[in-house]
Amino acid sequence: MSFEQKVKRMKILIAGFQHETNTFAPTRASYTSFVQGEGFPPMVRGADVLALRDVNVPIGGFIKVAEAGGHELTPVIWAGASASAHVTTDAFERIGGEIIAAVEEGGFDAIYLDLHGAMVTGQHDDGEGELLERVRRIVGDRMPVVVSLDLHANVTTRMFAHASALVAYRTYPHVDMAETGERAARILDQLVLEGRALQCAVRRVPFLVPVNGMCTLVEPARGMYTLLENLEKSPVMSLSFAPGFPAADFPECGPTIWAYAFSKDDAEHAVDALFSKMMSEESRWDVPFLTPDEAAIEAIRMSRTSTRPVIIADTQDNPGVGGDSNTMGMVRALLRNGATDAAVGVIWDAEAAAEAHRAGVGARISVALGGRSGAQGDSPLEAEFEVEHLSDGSFRFDGPMLNGMQGELGPVACLRIEGVRIAVSSVKMQVFDRNLFRVAGIEPERMKILVNKSSVHFRADFEAIAEAILVAKAPGPMAADPADLPWKRLDPDMRVRPMGPTFSSFNTASA
């Protein structure tokens, strides 16, 4: 008899609620943010959730494995929104409330939740821990509750206490989201087959990692996940490493390593081996950055002889980590240094897009573009632009992330100033797919220079066409170096960057 045949057919309640919260960001995530999706699939309910089986999100992978195993699924809701400041209390209670109401109805044998792991709400430092505690209060201690998490999760004590198992992504860019859901489904099957609780071992890494340093395409992150996969073999059922999201000001912010096995010793052995590698390579997790002018000058120099675009990551305005995708620092640097055949995307400015649509293709318009981040050194770019292209902003994701999903940017315009084309949208979205340029009439492969409002995710679709990738530290709301953030509530022993001071000593020195 196969493993699948041995597993009891279950009724499984499934739901998803994803948000990565930057507590230093300028804009909160409202209920409307989740309705729109902002780069995630738009909010869906009931049977419509099952259509996500073909999308690269964790619940999609879970659905495929569960259906193949003959399980009966009760889909509730799936909602995600772009990273930003706190999730409003209204949004948390409305979306979380639908999940809790479905749990209270009962009639199922297990629960799977597709969560992020770094949600902070208007009232709760630990949105996922709060939701899981409410779920566990209803279903009791014995029901299996399995959760998938983002690689950037700040995994808390409450999450571990109220989930039967937590499993995290292993790639950044996140090309394995569906695979993570598949692993969560298999862990749930194993839990039910064994009929006993897993033992969990946890180690917290004592330093914050810059987001740009977490890319699993390069070292040291690539080596960490290679070792992780080598260590995850029987009797270790699951091993995870979440470098964390280093922009959430609460005591449990930071990287975490954890494992599940039916023996505590087996789980601890795997965790200790991975933790030892992380600590021995601490200095390698730091990241060098270029100023906007340094990045522009180097990109212009390289592009003179290159047949492929040089890409600049405008990392401190990445809407995937809480930026509003409208700072003008890199645009100004390109103009200052005489860049040609350059494109910037995507600037979120619905007013400018609307003005362009009113004026029409070929018109010249005077607008104050972007620059509303509130970040020191950023301001709107007041200038005259030529309207080169207009669209309704509807497109399909063809890159590795969210492949096949429909995207909606609202009215979109391509505005040209001197040698720089700027893709302007009405909906905020990170540039992790080349089609976000194409929907604005810009063919990314034909550009000499591309500036992407992204930190790492863009590499999934853009690395194949890039001559080189530069990382610029232009003014923006998301500090690329966590030591630059005005922390107030970190764990006193947490180092604010690799090889940096602890928060307690850093805070004393900064006072």
User: What's the CA gap between 64 and 72, in Å, rounded?
Assistant: 12
Dump pLDDT digits (tens) for 167-178. Answer: 999 999 999 999
Dump pLDDT digits (tens) for 89-125. Answer: 999 999 999 999 999 999 999 999 999 999 999 999 9
Q: What is the mean pLDDT of the chain?
A: 95
Give alpha helix (H) positions in 360-456: 435-438
Q: Which residue has the tokens 């619905």?
A: 350
User: What's the CA gap between 125 and 30, in Å, rounded?
Assistant: 17
Going through 101-191 in order, the beta strands assigned E by DSSP cover: 110-115, 145-149, 165-168
Strand order in the sheet with 468-472: 364-369, 381-391, 412-417, 420-425, 342-348, 449-452, 310-314, 468-472
Domain assignments of the chain as residue spans, ordered by start: 1-196, 198-286+481-511, 292-480
Q: With contact defined as beta carbons under 8 Å apart, do 336 and 296 qualify?
A: yes
Dump pLDDT digits (tens) for 433-474. Answer: 999 999 999 999 999 999 999 999 999 999 999 999 999 999
DSSP annotation of 207 reads B
Q: What share of the chain is helix, strand, coil (3-state, %, to 5)?
A: 35, 25, 40
Instruction: Determine the 3-state secondary structure of 181 from DSSP.
Output: helix
Dump pLDDT digits (tens) for 359-411. Answer: 999 999 999 999 998 888 999 999 999 999 999 999 999 999 988 889 999 99
Distances (CA, A) of 221 to 163, 287, 454, 459: 26, 12, 18, 15
Q: With contact defined as beta carbons under 8 Å apart, do 88 and 79 qualify?
A: no
Q: With contact defined as beta carbons under 8 Å apart, do 262 and 475 qualify?
A: no
pTM of the model: 0.89
Quick one: fold of 1-196? Answer: Rossmann fold (3.40.50)
pLDDT band of 508, cuts 50, 70, 90 = low
